[in-house]
Structure 1
């Protein structure tokens, strides 16, 4: 009987861990560095489809003090994961990549050091200097 209780407990813990950790957006620091490098070189339009190596169907950009709930409402997704601190910091912007109904990756962009960021055609990061 103890073995059955133990097995049920392990299955419950694994299920809870998968639910809490599954579908979490991780921060892509390599992509952030690549975008920053292109911006430093003077690029004003960056095609994100050519820089990413993961599957995504939509991308959006969020400014300082944006909450996770606002991201969810704006993109009509479930957002769990790394928001780069934009909910309480005013020196960064966040790109959120989603595949269907879940965020998959985030990218922190530094303040307005390069200009004003926008997204065009759900794939191009535009910087207005």
Structure 2
């Protein structure tokens, strides 16, 4: 009888530990998911639209405002190999670059901000071209041209 009771108590202890471990694991997973989530949205449709404009060899500029259906106040264009520190310094906000542009030479990174917050980002494929915004630090809806320089 005693062995039976000890077995039940051990099973109960193991089950409680298991539940505690599972609860702990769920809390850790939720925390990781929330930490990894931010409100910055990748905009693949805009990326594809820009791709088709650049693909047309007669195109020499991109009017960003005409391609966007969402509000934005500033758009920053980052060249290949731009470091995380440089991006954050120019944006003047914390931004975890999801494109890893600091290791890539196949894209430019376009970051759109609204109300001082990074709202959207676009990976712009180079396609045998470089992109310039002139002497400006960033684009605005009223000064929105990205120039295509083919090589």
Shorter-chain TM-score range:
0.7 to 0.9
Selected match of 2:145 from 115, 124, 128? 124
Q: In the alignment, which residue of structure 1 is the partner of 2:19? A: none
Of 92, 95, 107, which aligns to 1:92?
107
Matched, 1:47 2:63: yes
1:61 maps to 77
Higher helix share: 2
- 8 A contact 2:73–2:114 mirrored in 1: yes
Q: Report the count of equivalent residues.
A: 114
Shift of 1:105: 1.0
- The 5 Å alignment of 1:1-129 reads 17=34, 21-22=37-38, 24-41=39-56, 42-80=58-96, 82=98, 84-111=99-126, 113=128, 115-120=129-134, 122=139, 123-129=144-150
1:66-124 deviation per Cα after TM superposition (whole angstroms, max 9, x unaligned): 22331121122332463x221212221111111132211111112351x2201256111
Q: Is the 8 A contact 2:84 2:97 kept in 1?
A: no
TM superposition score normalised by structure 1: 0.73
Secondary structure of 2:147's match? strand
* CA root-mean-square deviation: 2.5
Q: Is the 8 A contact 1:26 1:105 kept in 2?
A: yes
TM-score (norm 2): 0.63
Rg larger for = 2
